[in-house]
Structure 1
Amino acid sequence: MNTSTITGRAVQFVESFGGPQALELRQIAVPALGPGQVRVRVTAAGLNPMDWFMTSDADAAARFGLSLPCGFGNDYAGIVDEVGDGVDGLFTVGERVFGGAFSRSVADYVVVDAPGHIGRGGDIHPTPDDLDDRIAATLSIAGCTAAAALAVINPGPTDTLLIGGAGGGVGVFAVQLARLAGARVIGAGSAASADALRALGAEPVTYGDGLAERVRELAPEGITAAMDLHGTDTIAVARQLGVPDSRMTTIAAVVEGITPANGASATPGAIEEIARLAAQGRLRVPIAASFPVQEIRAAVELQAGRHVHGKVVINLV
């Protein structure tokens, strides 16, 4: 296919990095396809905190190797538009797919490596037949991060797991995956998130001062593992409650003695398993809000407020 005259919409930072008001919806040339790559016509893109964190200013962008003009977003779902040399037999034109496209997913077209990796080259996976594109578009970053964090502590039926930031995007997956593994889950979050956490299978507890005492009341026999999906406060409380460092992990901070986790370290096949569970209805992904791509600024403002109970999705069709 000759793409030289084909254009599509893409959300970009053009003049500067920054907050939602710096984002522009532009008409650009469709990205060129190389050997070992697949071009996807995007139908939906899911937002994550890292999207705006790494583009919040020029210094943050530089740490992630980003320069202007720069796309936005990481998670996508869509339909294979074209395949490059060497991809025959892996993916076919018209096939439904999902994955990650580093800082460029909110666009009509993305090009990713096949099968690829969650990092800069992007990755691509078949979308299960019973999985809606809006759900598939939320899985890559949060799902892989949750899976990687759980792999560090390996919870099971004998565990009582404390998850800090349980109401966030990664927490939605971590709570349910831990419950599927048989663990009891205590989810620390805001008071407003309590009902949402119960719906996911967690026992809610309000974060902040006095968290250790509240956890003791819920689990007088103690907790055996902990995940901090927000910062370091939950780690401090878990240490106070006697959890060994080997049974704790973080995703957004580095704590001496604690093994951190990120989506890039998820075990092979983790994201396919998460998609399968979601398609079967065994893992629920609440969609807090969806926006047309023309309303990207409002969508990012909502997501960046960190008070959304569920995922924010951008619709591109």
Structure 2
Amino acid sequence: MRAVTYDSFASDNSRLKVGDVPAPKVGPGQVLIEVRAAGVNPVDWKVMAGGLDGMMDAVFPVIPGWDVAGVVRGLGPDTPEFAPGDEVMSYARKDVVHAGTFAEYVSVSADDVARKPAAFDWNQAGGLPLAGMTAQRALDRLEIGPDDVLLIHAASGGVGSLAVQIARDRGARVIGTASEKNHDYLRELGAEPVAYGEGLADRVGEMAPGGVSAVADFAGGQLDTTLAVLRPEGRHVSVADNEVEKHGGHWIWVRPDGTGLAELAALADRGALKVEVAETFSLDRVGDAFDASRSGHTRGKLVITP
């Protein structure tokens, strides 16, 4: 099969190449997915740069990518949950960095697979798993409900925009940081936008004079602002800054979970969740997708379409 690979860590795209590799084996309890779309996430190029080498083993050559949406083409032994032809999606991270989703096929544990939302096209479904489940896990850890005033740092980004929608569906009031150009977008999602940068704590204080009850940081480097606007009994999480743990917060690292992903699919199918796709790329243009992701200025998901 055709796949994107790299044979050593690199902080740029110099080790990326496209070529033929052996098709994945399908073990007990696994499904073989023909990839229709695979979302790009910052972790993909951070892993390629060796950013998780202290946490996860890598077996080269590595196929990058942890998101997938596609069609079931094969089943391992004792996998009654799915059948060939099923349209599915998955957050397909494995314990070892090796066989990712930027390829024509990927094998995934059935426990980590959910059925694709009927309301989503392939690209939207391929962009949902990691970002959506990160948002979901953050809000679950915060126990967000209708009595909350939630501040979301980087609310117009891939994770933040999904967190806005999930929190609003749970009845919370949401204040979201973003650049001015994305304020109308946040209003469409149901958030009250506020410009990030110097003076942010004062601006949030004007919008919520009593402070906010919870903060979800999807940007990093926001701890001082978080602590300045948070009520004394407030809760906070970050996906980008483990320093929050020294101040009563929680560092979020999302786990593959087919059941949680199915909950997001149900939200999508009842119209409570949407994924904005910024651009799609062929396997030959994964480097361009990584460059766009590194820029930090993309609104919506970048998606690989093998």
Q: TM-score, normalised by structure 1?
A: 0.88
Q: Tell me if the contact between 1:196 and 1:309 (Cα under 8 Å) persists in the aligned partners.
A: no
Pair 1:91 & 2:82 matched:
yes
Q: Which one is further off, 236-245 or 19-28?
A: 236-245
What amino acid is aligned across from residue 11 of structure 1 in structure 2?
A: V
| 1:113 equivalent in structure 2 | 109
Q: Tell me if the contact between 1:38 and 1:82 (Cα under 8 Å) persists in the aligned partners.
A: yes
Q: Tell me if the contact between 2:91 and 2:256 (Cα under 8 Å) persists in the aligned partners.
A: no
The CA distance in 2 between the partners of 1:220 and 1:246, in whole Å, is 14
The CA distance in 2 between the partners of 1:173 and 1:240, in whole Å, is 25
Identical pairs, percent: 37
By how many angstroms is 1:155 displaced?
Answer: 2.0
| 2:206 equivalent in structure 1 | 217
| 2:151 equivalent in structure 1 | 162
By how many angstroms is 1:246 displaced?
Answer: 5.1
| 1:5 equivalent in structure 2 | none
What amino acid is aligned across from residue 217 of structure 2 in structure 1?
A: D
Equivalent of residue 176 in structure 1, options 130, 144, 165: 165
By how many angstroms is 1:231 displaced?
Answer: 1.1
Q: Tell me if the contact between 1:100 and 1:140 (Cα under 8 Å) persists in the aligned partners.
A: yes
SS across alignment from 2:287: helix
By how many angstroms is 1:67 displaced?
Answer: 3.2
Going from structure 1 to structure 2, the CA distance change for 1:245 and 1:60 (only over 3 Å counts) comes to farther
What amino acid is aligned across from residue 96 of structure 1 in structure 2?
A: E
| 2:11 equivalent in structure 1 | 18
The CA distance in 1 between the partners of 2:158 and 2:92, in whole Å, is 18
The CA distance in 1 between the partners of 2:8 and 2:241, in whole Å, is 30
Q: Tell me if the contact between 2:151 and 2:176 (Cα under 8 Å) persists in the aligned partners.
A: yes
| 1:243 equivalent in structure 2 | 231
By how many angstroms is 1:202 displaced?
Answer: 1.1
**Which sections of structure 1, spanning at least 5 residues, go unmatched?**
1-7, 116-122
Q: Tell me if the contact between 2:210 and 2:231 (Cα under 8 Å) persists in the aligned partners.
A: no
SS across alignment from 2:14: helix
By how many angstroms is 1:170 displaced?
Answer: 0.9
Pair 1:126 & 2:119 matched:
no
| 1:100 equivalent in structure 2 | 91
SS across alignment from 2:164: helix
What amino acid is aligned across from residue 18 of structure 1 in structure 2?
A: S
Alignment deviations for residues 133-176 of structure 1 (CA, whole Å, 9 cap, x no partner): 21111121111111111012122222211111112211011111
Q: Tell me if the contact between 1:45 and 1:314 (Cα under 8 Å) persists in the aligned partners.
A: yes
The number of equivalent residue pairs is 298
What amino acid is aligned across from residue 60 of structure 2 in structure 1?
A: L
The CA distance in 1 between the partners of 2:224 and 2:259, in whole Å, is 32
The CA distance in 1 between the partners of 2:256 and 2:224, in whole Å, is 24
Q: Which one is further off, 23-32 or 62-71?
A: 62-71
The CA distance in 1 between the partners of 2:9 and 2:235, in whole Å, is 42
The CA distance in 2 between the partners of 1:216 and 1:84, in whole Å, is 55
SS across alignment from 2:145: coil
**Which sections of structure 2, spanning at least 5 residues, go unmatched?**
none
By how many angstroms is 1:270 displaced?
Answer: 2.4
The CA distance in 1 between the partners of 2:208 and 2:104, in whole Å, is 49
The CA distance in 1 between the partners of 2:281 and 2:57, in whole Å, is 28
What amino acid is aligned across from residue 65 of structure 1 in structure 2?
A: D
Equivalent of residue 52 in structure 1, options 42, 45, 53: 45
Going from structure 1 to structure 2, the CA distance change for 1:99 and 1:244 (only over 3 Å counts) comes to farther
By how many angstroms is 1:271 displaced?
Answer: 1.5
Equivalent of residue 66 in structure 1, options 58, 75, 79: 58
Q: Tell me if the contact between 2:123 and 2:303 (Cα under 8 Å) persists in the aligned partners.
A: yes
Pair 1:149 & 2:142 matched:
no
By how many angstroms is 1:62 displaced?
Answer: 5.1
The CA distance in 2 between the partners of 1:308 and 1:61, in whole Å, is 27
Alignment deviations for residues 29-70 of structure 1 (CA, whole Å, 9 cap, x no partner): 11112222111110110011111112214x644532113211
Q: Tell me if the contact between 2:213 and 2:234 (Cα under 8 Å) persists in the aligned partners.
A: no
What amino acid is aligned across from residue 302 of structure 2 in structure 1?
A: V
Pair 1:82 & 2:71 matched:
no
What amino acid is aligned across from residue 95 of structure 1 in structure 2?
A: D
Equivalent of residue 274 in structure 1, options 264, 267, 272: 264
Equivalent of residue 296 in structure 2, options 274, 281, 306: 306
Going from structure 1 to structure 2, the CA distance change for 1:226 and 1:305 (only over 3 Å counts) comes to same
Going from structure 1 to structure 2, the CA distance change for 1:269 and 1:31 (only over 3 Å counts) comes to closer
What amino acid is aligned across from residue 299 of structure 1 in structure 2?
A: A
Pair 1:135 & 2:127 matched:
no
Q: Tell me if the contact between 1:239 and 1:245 (Cα under 8 Å) persists in the aligned partners.
A: no
| 1:192 equivalent in structure 2 | 181
Q: Tell me if the contact between 1:61 and 1:67 (Cα under 8 Å) persists in the aligned partners.
A: no
